[in-house]
């Protein structure tokens, strides 16, 4: 942990070198006159207990990315209602050695879809690829915001179905279902009916990653909006652009979920413009 000792706030993940959270959050801290207290640290999931003890003694706040959003749960003292419902945490606030867990990914996707496509989540038909930590928080947000229907496609359909079952308890009005990501016929049907495709697996973080699905299926719906939570040019985003589909990467989601985290830590509304400028800076 020695490389993190100069920071009061961290983003942790495995990997984490790609994260733009430090320059984005530090821009917000600077705009608020609070210096540049935010860094990043790779944490092995097997070492989460050790990190939690370090955080209790040394940190004020943490953002968590893949694969830590559920790994952290046993080490959190108190969960916000949203985090407790979705059992996913992407933000920690540490006060007098006590760790509080929050989920701001829902706020992130709401802000991103509005910013990129001019749409509210209410009434949309959504196809979501993935059922991990971020997908869990997003699925709950889609339900809470009364999306018309949500189809969750995942490599493990059992995991997707378990997520559907959890969300239905809290949002019974939204029609929800699960399909195997490998079932091309079911995927084609979901794409044809969707207003919005959300790609929230980790595929795309690395150059060698395959596309999450057969990208030619995008041709089935010329009105589809495509959102990829990865904030780099992925095969999915490139193909969507070639087909003339409205498409966006994960930048605005990162900014809006980060803004919600910043407010949790400081009780100050951050400058979204400053965070956007920070995001565009070279990494640290």
Q: Give yes or no for residue 274 having a pLDDT over 90.
A: yes
Is the bond preceding 15 in cis, omega lying within 30 degrees of 0?
yes
End-to-end CA gap in the chain: 17
Residue 50, in any domain of the structure: yes
- Here the CATH number for the domain that contains residue 15 is 3.40.50.10860
Q: Please indicate, yes or no, whether residues 97 and 113 belong to a single structural domain of this protein.
A: no
Q: Which residue in the block uniquely carries the two structure tokens 């985290």?
A: 261
Q: What is the pLDDT of residues 46-58, one digit of tens each?
A: 999 999 999 999 9
Same domain, 116 and 230: yes
Cα within 13 Å of Cα(137), Cβ side: 30
194 and 122 together in one domain: yes
Q: Whole-number mean pLDDT of the chain? A: 95
**Same-domain status, 20 and 150:** no
For residue 80, is it within any domain?
Answer: yes
- Which pair of structure tokens corresponds to residue 171? 């949002």
**Quick one: which of 59, 60, 93 has its CA closest to 76?**
93
Q: Is the pLDDT of residue 282 over 80?
A: no
Phi, then psi, of 227 in degrees rounded to 5: -120, 125
Quote the CA–CA distance of 25 and 46 in Å, as a whole number. Answer: 27
Same domain, 112 and 242: yes
What is the SS3 assignment for 192?
Answer: helix
Same-domain check for residues 9 and 86: yes
pLDDT at 128 over 80: yes
Within a domain: 10? yes
Q: Are 68 and 171 in a shared domain?
A: no
Looking at the fold, whether 123 and 72 belong to one and the same domain comes out as: no
Residue 149 lies inside a defined structural domain of this protein: yes
121 shares a domain with 192: yes
Are 182 and 167 within one domain?
Answer: yes
DSSP state string for 197-264:
EEE-SSTTSSTTPPPSS-GGGGGG-TT-EEEESSSS--HHHHHHHHTT--EE-SHHHHHHHHHHHHHH
- pLDDT tens string 194-221: 999 999 998 888 888 899 999 999 999 9
Q: Across residues 224-253, what is the average pLDDT?
A: 95
* In a shared domain, residues 114 and 212: yes
Distance CA 28, CA 32 (A): 6
What pLDDT, on the 0 to 100 scale, is given for residue 283?
A: 53
Structural domain count, the chain: 2
Catalytic status, residue 69: yes
Q: How does pLDDT run across 142-161, given as a tens digit for each residue?
A: 999 999 999 999 999 999 99
CATH number at residue 184: 3.40.50.720
**Residue 88 sits in the same domain as residue 131:** no
Residue 216 is assigned to a structural domain of this protein: yes
Task: Confirm whether 8 is domain-assigned.
Answer: yes
Mean local confidence (pLDDT), 20-42: 97
Catalytic residue among 69, 98, 159, 168: 69
- Structural domain of 86: 2-103+252-279
In this prediction, residue 204 carries a pLDDT of: 80
284 in a domain, yes or no? no
Whether residue 143 is contained in a domain is answered as: yes
């Amino acid at each position: 942990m020695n490389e993190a000792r100069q920071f009061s706030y961290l983003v942790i993940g495995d990997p984490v070198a790609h994260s733009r959270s430090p320059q984005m959050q530090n821009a917000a801290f600077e705009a608020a006159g609070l210096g540049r207290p935010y860094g990043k640290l790779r944490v092995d999931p097997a070492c989460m207990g050790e990190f939690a003890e370090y955080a209790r003694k040394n940190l004020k706040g943490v953002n968590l990315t893949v694969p830590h959003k559920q790994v952290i749960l046993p080490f959190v003292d108190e969960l916000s209602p949203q985090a407790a419902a979705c059992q996913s945490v992407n933000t920690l606030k540490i006060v007098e050695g006590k760790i509080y867990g929050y989920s701001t990914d829902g706020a992130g996707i709401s802000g991103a879809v509005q910013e990129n496509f001019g749409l509210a989540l209410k009434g949309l038909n959504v196809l979501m690829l993935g059922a991990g930590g971020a997908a869990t928080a997003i699925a709950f947000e889609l339900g809470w915001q009364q999306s018309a229907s949500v189809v969750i496609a995942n490599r493990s359909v059992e995991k997707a179905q378990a997520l559907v079952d959890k969300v239905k308890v809290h949002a019974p009005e939204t029609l929800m279902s699960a399909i195997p990501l490998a079932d091309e016929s079911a995927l084609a049907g979901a794409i044809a009916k969707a207003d919005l495709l959300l790609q929230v697996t980790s595929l795309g973080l690395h150059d060698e990653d395959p596309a999450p699905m057969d990208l030619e299926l995008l041709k089935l719906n010329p009105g589809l909006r495509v959102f990829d939570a990865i904030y780099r040019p992925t095969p999915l985003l490139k193909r969507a652009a070639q087909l003339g589909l409205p498409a966006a990467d994960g930048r605005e989601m990162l900014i809006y979920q980060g803004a919600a985290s910043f407010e949790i830590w400081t009780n100050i509304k951050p400058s979204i413009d400053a965070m956007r400028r920070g995001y565009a800076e070279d990494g640290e």
